[in-house]
């Protein structure tokens, strides 16, 4: 992913659908986003067209219904977003990010155990 192309919230929601479900039609993406009268099908279509121009997705036009697939990998996108957040919000401090994350009420015991294992493996290198 081009580091300068950071997906918007709406684009990220679409990418999550494509990462989870694979290549999909506009209708499928729209429905999986919970498409209702507030979000029109044409809005989803336009968003996918913009994302195609930004090279976040690619379009297969070989069938009547165009199929869209993510052009960017989930892990690469997440890493880019975390790096951008880290710099913009926390001045590049990984320590601050970890401390805030661990201080939240949403961290499970299993996640803490996994983090400990990751730190252990890293210190053994």
Please answer whether residues 14 and 54 qualify as being in contact, where contact means their C-beta atoms are separated by less than 8 angstroms: no
Which of 73, 57, 63 is closest to 23 using CA atoms? Answer: 57
| pLDDT the model gives residue 65 | 86
Residues 6+ apart with CB under 8 A from 29: 14, 17, 18, 44, 48, 68
Mean per-residue pLDDT, 44-71: 94
Residue 4 has pLDDT above 80, yes or no: no
Please answer whether residues 18 and 57 qualify as being in contact, where contact means their C-beta atoms are separated by less than 8 angstroms: yes
Please answer whether residues 41 and 30 qualify as being in contact, where contact means their C-beta atoms are separated by less than 8 angstroms: yes
| pLDDT the model gives residue 1 | 44
| pLDDT per position as a tens digit, 8-46 | 999 999 999 999 999 999 999 999 998 766 678 899 999
Number of neighbouring beta carbons within 10 Å of residue 26: 22
């Amino acid at each position: 992913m081009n580091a300068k192309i950071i997906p918007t919230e709406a684009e990220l929601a679409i990418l999550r659908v494509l990462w989870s479900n694979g290549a999909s039609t506009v209708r499928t993406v729209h429905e999986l986003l919970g498409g209702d009268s507030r979000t029109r099908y044409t809005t989803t279509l336009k968003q996918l067209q913009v994302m195609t121009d930004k090279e976040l997705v690619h379009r297969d036009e070989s069938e009547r219904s165009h199929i869209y697939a993510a052009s960017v990998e989930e892990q690469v996108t997440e890493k880019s977003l975390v790096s951008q957040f880290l710099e913009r919000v926390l001045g590049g401090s990984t320590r601050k990010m970890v401390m805030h994350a661990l201080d939240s009420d949403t961290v499970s015991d299993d996640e803490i155990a996994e983090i400990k294992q990751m730190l252990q493996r890293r210190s053994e290198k």
